[in-house]
Each structure stands twice: as C-alpha cells, then as structure tokens.
Chain A
C-alpha cells in the first residue's frame, strides 16, 4: 500500500533543505511517497500551511528550524513561534525541530512549549540518524536526538526541581546578564530574584555567594 506523506521543510538555508531532501529521498521506504514543500522564510512557511488547509491536503510532517529571520509583520520571530502557529492550524501535523542550539535551557523550553514529535540537534545529525528520526516520527513518535536525550536524562535523574523562571535566571546569568538587569527580562522584582538566586544556591549546594560557582554547578548538573 502506497503511503503519501506531505512534508513542509522550513529553513532559511537552501543547502540544509537540500541535505534533508537528499537524505529523506535516499532513505525512504519503498511504500512511502514523499511530497516535500520548501519554505525559506516564516511568511512562506505560513502561506504554505494555509494553502495546504485550503487544498484540504494538510501536511503530515513539518521540519522546523529554530533560528529564522522574522516574518514581515514581525509576529513570528523564530521556529518556536512558527511551531506554535502550526499547532493551532495544523493540529494533526507532526513537528520535527531541527536546530543548531544545544543549550539545555533552550532544549527544555522547546520541549515544554511545543512538545515536538521529533527534536534533533543539528550537530548530532547524520543522514542515518535523520532517516531513522523520520521513520520514528512517522511511525512511533517522539524521536529525540542524542544531545536532547542526554539532557532529558540528566534533568530527570537529578533530584533538583526548578521552575521556568529559575531556569531563565540561570540562562540569563550564563549569558552575562547582570542581576540588576534581570528584572527587565523577567518582569519580577529584584528582591524576588534575589530570593530565587538564594534558593538556587541552596538547591545546587553552592556555599559561596559567587554567581560563577552557581553557574558552574548548574552546568555540571545539566541545567545549562
């Protein structure tokens, strides 16, 4: 039985899409027929999604890059936004995130926000892995690549439980943002940030008051 799979690949690098195409076409099963559409921008991607609904031929799988140039109206600034949009209009479609980002915070966020059927960090990716990822998503989602899996495992294994704001604080601190400026990024008062930092230090058993030590510890435990 011939199976037609409609795919939308969104990436601003044509070379990458070409790579995906080459790999998928070379490794697809005999029974599978792939219809691949390509979008290089957010706007293009959204148009194609819309059209597939209008044509009553919605996409089955969406390959999404995370860093994308923003849409013309600037409502969609990344693959994350685009994925959320896709979830709304194409609830049946399976989303595969392919990204260069490999920081645990971003990974955590993406999983939390989008719950993608596939999540591959580009540096992990070989054609074989992509092929197996594709097959896994089609048949038995989800598929997470090595880096993602490792991250999930460390956070699951560790007894440390911190909420999203704590994660963001850690992330921003690691980006070199000063504690004073954190309020602007988080919309939380300085005193509550201080409280959270104190709590974080306790959680990560950091004895001194240096942020550096806290960050090192968080990194060790896989939160950064």
Chain B
C-alpha cells in the first residue's frame, strides 16, 4: 500500500492574486513590485527572501491588509525553503491579521498551512484541527478546489490514524468536489490519492472487492493523466499486494511477474522494485511454483536492493515476508533472525501493524517462556493499539464536534455580548434620564423659589405703588382743595374788596376813609389767608411717610396676629423716597422674617423697631424681650440665614445680640 505525498496547492493561488491589486500610491506600487519580484520563480531564493522581507517591512506603514498580503508572500517562501518553524510563526500572525481585516480566504489559507505544518511533523490531531477549521471556511467561501484538497489531506491523516470510517467519508466528499473541477494532472493526482485511500481503507476492513474496485479506478485515473508512470506503478503494486493479502496468490504471482519483467522499474524506482521482488517471492512460495533456493534468491535480491536504497519500509516488509517464508520452511533460526530484524525496524518506524505480525510470528517460532512473553507483548500492544485507535477516532470526532461547539459558543458569546451591550445602553439611557429628571427637578425647584421671591418682592412693590397712588390721590385732592380755596375764598374776597375800594375811590368823606380802612384791613386778612395756603402748599404733608406707612401696616397686622406689642421709632430725616426699592424691599422682608422668628422662637411680648440714620448709614434695630438664645451654640435657622443673605444683598452689616431669658436684639446697618 503506497500513498502519494501531500501537496499544498493553495500557494499557487496566492501567487496569482497578489499582483492583481491595483496601486494606490507610490509606496504601495513599490511594495507590489517587491512582491512580484519575490514571487518570481526564476530568481534566486535568497534574493526573493530579500524582496519579500522588504515588502513586509514597508507594509507595516500601510494598512493591515497590505501587510497580510506581503506576509503571505514571505510565508510561501518559507514553505519553499522548508523553514517550517518560520512557516508556523508567520501563519499564526497571518491568522490574526486576516481576522482583523476580516479576510476569510486568508484565514482559511493560513489554517491550511498550519495544518500542513503539523501534518509534516505528524502531529496529526493538531493538523486535523487546523484542516478542519480551514475546510469549514473554504466551504463558506464556496472554494471547491481548496475544500476538496484539504479534505483529501484530512482523509490521509485519518487513514494513518486508522479512523477508517472518517477517512472514507472525507475522501468521498473530496472526490465529489474535485470531480467538479476541470480535468488536469494536478486535480487527477488528488483524485488518485483519495481513491487510493478508499481502496486502502477497504482492504484494511477486508472489503477486498471494494478495494479492488477503487484500485481499478486509480488505474482509470492514471489513463486520463498525461504523466502517469509512477501512479500506474503504484496502482499495480497495490493491486498485486491486495491479491496477496486476499490470499489469491495465483493472481498475485501473475501480477508480480508482470511487474518483475519490466526491468525499467528497477532503474526508475528500485525501492518499488524490491517490494515487487519480495511480493513475487512470497507468492511463488505460497503457490509452490519455485524451488526454495529460487525463492531465497529473489528474497535476498529484494533485501539487498532495499538495504542499498536504505529503504526501511521496504526492508520491514521484506524481512517479514522472509521470516514468514523461513518459518513455513521450518528454518527457525533464519526465521528468528528476520523476525527480530522486522521487529527492530518496526519499532524504529513505529509500524505497529508489522510489530504485531512480528510478535505473533515470534511467539510461534519461540518456545516456552519466550513464546509466552512474545504472545503477551502481542496482546498488550494489540489492546493498547485498539485503545489508541479508538481514542484518536474519538479525538477527530471531538475536533469536529468541538469546532462546531466553539462556533456555537462564539455565537452564544456574541449574543451575550450583544445582550450585555443592549442592557448597558438601556441602563445608561435610564441613568441619563434619571439624571436629567433630577437636575430638571432641582432646576424647577430653584426656579419656583426664585419666582416666589420675585412674587413677594412684587407684592411689596405693588404695596408701595398703591401707597404711591394713594399719595397721588391725596395730593391731587389737596391741590383741588387749595385751588378751590384760592378761587372761591380768596379770589372772591379780593374781588369784593377791590370792587368796594373802587367804589369808594372817588369819595373823600370821613365815612369813606373809614370804610376804605376797613377794606385795607380786609386785604391784610386776605394776605394772611394767602400765607396760610402758601404754607400748606409748602409743607408736603405726605412726604416721607409712605414706606413707613407700609412698615406700620406690616407691624400692625403682624403683631396683631402674633399678639405682640410693638413700638416703632422712625427718624424723619431718613428720606425713604431716595432709597432704592431693592433696599426697601429687603428691609421689609427682614422685618417680616424677624417678626416671624420672634413669634416662633422668642416667646416675646414686646418688640421694638427703630430706624435711625448716621452718616448715610441706616441703622435698623429689632429688639424683643423674649427668651433669647445662645448665638454660638444654636444652629442657624432658615430665618436667620434668610436675614443674613438679605443683609448681604444690600451690602449691610448684621449683628445679633442675645441673652438668655432677656431677649434678642438684631442690629442691621445699611449704607445708602
């Protein structure tokens, strides 16, 4: 059973499309130029590396996708060189880059290369893992060629690890895909490999007819190929081996003989030829168509060729065949020699299948304890192999399953993330709303407070205005009164007097003189009258009274409500009209607040309010005879705070004196 080597075809694809990017700027142009130089098969590998490294270095300044493409060129060069560790490193970087730029093809490709890397080093589970990821992505991209090839590689791994069912399944999938592609040697070779794998698996499962069917198919494929010498040879050897295995030694001999006659094989592929010789010898021995010496010679020639070619695999199978032959011909020593040889090589190559055969044969050749030990070793190895097979099969199944699971997990995580995002947004919005509502509420509160203040201030202002109106009314009434007094009283009397004097003017009698004298007295009386009116006009009976009137009204109503006695002392030299409304309003409010405080806390019976003025500073003193309080100890109430803020507003100065059970005195100095 001969398998062909794995191939990595995606690399060829890569080379094609790197150069198809169109230039965006000069730097990109030079990067592209470097890449195509690096991809030039005619250039020395050393120089190609130089170009590729330079391209990567320049790409760092540009976008991630540019860097990725450049790195893929370099990765290809590493592959050609066989520097697999670098291949491994760079492709891990490429996976990350590709995920970043969401280039699915590049991701799939990098996974494929990583799978190949592990395949080379026979880390079959890791290789399978990456291949699986890769094939899923290629499937998503609907990339039939790559998908089929990766599946073929996967089938190969599964065959090696004796996961026959998995191998067959992947191989069939691969065939179905590859057959859709145009027919050329490259694709046909892949098809040959997969068909060959299925045949091997079938043989292992002892389905010889099926195996034969697929081997025939491999021959068909060989017929379709341009250059099919090697593949045809392999197919024919495999078919002959199959017949031998099946026990149809006659056919096997016939086929081996046919191959044996083609001596060109010896020149072209001596290792294969040695296997043919060994196979022929074995078949002849079984068929009894040659003498023992003849057979021995054939075996020895085969053994020699393998030894010269240093083909351990060949040596292994030839040794086993020879041991079998010597055992059957009762030549125990030679049999033991070759079985030990096969056993040693088998151990070196970890060819478990052959080791088992060797152990079984050894147990037959040897006697006593030695035979028993060999048999035990056989059973032990067989068991452990079975377990290993089972576990590796499980492993592949698990990779399939886990990868699907990881995908599901990823989806779940992304779903969870989305939910979390949604939740956080919701929470944030709610918090923001709450914050807005709260600030709005407090703003509203402040506004309402301000409005209330405004309203109370307006109230006082209106009070003042109405007082002003009253005053204006009183003033105009007074004016009218004076006018009437002048018109009706004084003017009339003056007119009468004038008229009388006029009439007396012409007479000079004593009587007339006396009369005139009385009219002159009358004139004097009128004079007095005019003086009186003039005086009344001069004294503004209402000036200076209005603010104090408001204060008085306040005190009267407030003290009445609080059942307090009050005394108001006002200094007439305070010109309230000249003082700003703002100040007056604040004084009014301070008085109101103070009275309220006295009523609430002081338990007073009397309150004295006095206004005085000194050097343009009005001094307002509010004194009560209440319980008083300790200024330092007591917390400032809202009342006091309000008064303080009002005093501050009018740049005043506040002093509070208080004595327990004697009363409190507030002094406020207001500059004007």
A residues near B, CB below 8 A? 11-20, 22-23, 26-27, 67, 100, 122, 125-128, 130
Contact = CB atoms under 8 A, between A and B. Distances in A.
A83 B498 CA distance: 26
B499 A20 contact: yes
A-B CB proximity, top 5 nearest: A19-B499, A15-B496, A127-B502, A13-B492, A16-B496
Given A13-B493, A16-B492, A127-B505, A23 B499 contact: yes
B499 A22 contact: yes
B505 A16 contact: no
Q: Residue among B492, B503, B506 with the most chain A CB within 10 A?
A: B503
A122 B503 contact: no
Nearest to B525: A15
Contacts of B503: 19, 22-23, 26-27, 127
Contacts of A125: 495, 499
B488 A22 contact: no
Contacts of B487: 67, 100
Contact of B495 (A14, A22, A26, A122): A122
B430 interface: no
A128 B504 CA distance: 11
Interface string B459-502: 00000000000000000000000000001110111011111101
Contact of A26 (B489, B497, B504): B504
A22 B492 contact: no
30 contacts: A11-B492, A12-B492, A13-B488, A13-B495, A13-B496, A15-B495, A15-B497, A15-B500, A16-B492, A16-B495, A16-B499, A17-B496, A18-B496, A19-B495, A19-B497, A19-B498, A20-B499, A22-B499, A22-B503, A23-B499, A23-B503, A26-B503, A26-B504, A26-B507, A67-B488, A100-B487, A100-B491, A126-B502, A127-B502, A128-B502
Contact of A127 (B489, B492, B499): B499
A18 B488 CA distance: 16
B189 interface: no
Contacts of A27: 503
B179 interface: no
Contact of A18 (B489, B500, B502, B507): B500
Nearest to B494: A15
Given A12-B488, A100-B487, A100-B491, A19 B505 contact: no
B522 interface: yes
Contacts of A16: 492-493, 495-496, 499
Nearest to A69: B488
A79 to B, nearest CB: 13
A205 B495 CA distance: 40
Given A22-B515, A100-B491, A128-B502, 15 more contacts: A13-B489, A15-B495, A15-B500, A16-B499, A20-B499, A22-B499, A22-B500, A26-B506, A67-B488, A100-B492, A125-B499, A126-B499, A126-B502, A127-B499, A127-B505
Interface in B25-81: none
Contact of A15 (B493, B504, B505, B506): B493
A118 to B, nearest CB: 15
B492 to A, nearest CB: 4
Interface string B94-114: 000000000000000000000
Given A26-B507, A100-B487, A15 B492 contact: yes
A222 to B, nearest CB: 23
Contact of A19 (B489, B500, B507): B500
Interface bin, chain B? 20 to 34
Nearest to B497: A15
B508 to A, nearest CB: 13
A21 to B, nearest CB: 8
Contact of A23 (B488, B492, B502): B502
Contacts of B496: 13-19
A54 to B, nearest CB: 30
A76 B522 CA distance: 31
Contacts of A100: 487, 491-492, 495
Contacts of B522: 15
Contacts of B502: 19, 23, 126-128
A23 B495 CA distance: 12
Nearest to A13: B492
Contacts of B498: 19
Contacts of B515: 22
B421 to A, nearest CB: 71
B500 A23 contact: yes
Nearest to A130: B499
A127 B512 CA distance: 15
A11 B492 CA distance: 10
B143 to A, nearest CB: 95
Nearest to A26: B503
Contacts of A22: 499-500, 503-504, 515
Contacts of B492: 11-13, 15-16, 100
A19 B516 CA distance: 12
Contacts of B493: 13, 15-16
Nearest to A16: B496
Nearest to A11: B492
A11 B496 CA distance: 11
A18 B504 CA distance: 12
B287 to A, nearest CB: 145
A127 B504 CA distance: 9
A23 B506 CA distance: 11
A62 B456 CA distance: 64
Contacts of B507: 26
Contacts of A20: 499
A66 to B, nearest CB: 11
A14 B491 CA distance: 13
A1 to B, nearest CB: 26
A14 to B, nearest CB: 8
Q: Residue among A12, A13, A20, A126 with the most chain B CB within 10 A?
A: A13
Nearest to B518: A18
A100 B507 CA distance: 28
Nearest to B487: A100
A97 to B, nearest CB: 15
Nearest to A122: B495
A124 to B, nearest CB: 11
Contacts of B500: 15, 18-19, 22-23
Contacts of A122: 495
A22 B518 CA distance: 13
Contacts of A67: 487-488
A126 B505 CA distance: 11
Contacts of B491: 100
A27 B522 CA distance: 23
A126 B495 CA distance: 9
A13 B487 CA distance: 11
A14 B493 CA distance: 8
A130 B503 CA distance: 10
A26 B496 CA distance: 15
A125 B507 CA distance: 19
A12 B505 CA distance: 25
Q: Residue among B492, B499, B502 with the most chain A CB within 10 A?
A: B499
Nearest to B505: A127
A67 B497 CA distance: 19
B75 to A, nearest CB: 99
Contacts of B489: 13
B518 to A, nearest CB: 10
Contacts of B506: 26
A20 B502 CA distance: 10
A13 B500 CA distance: 13
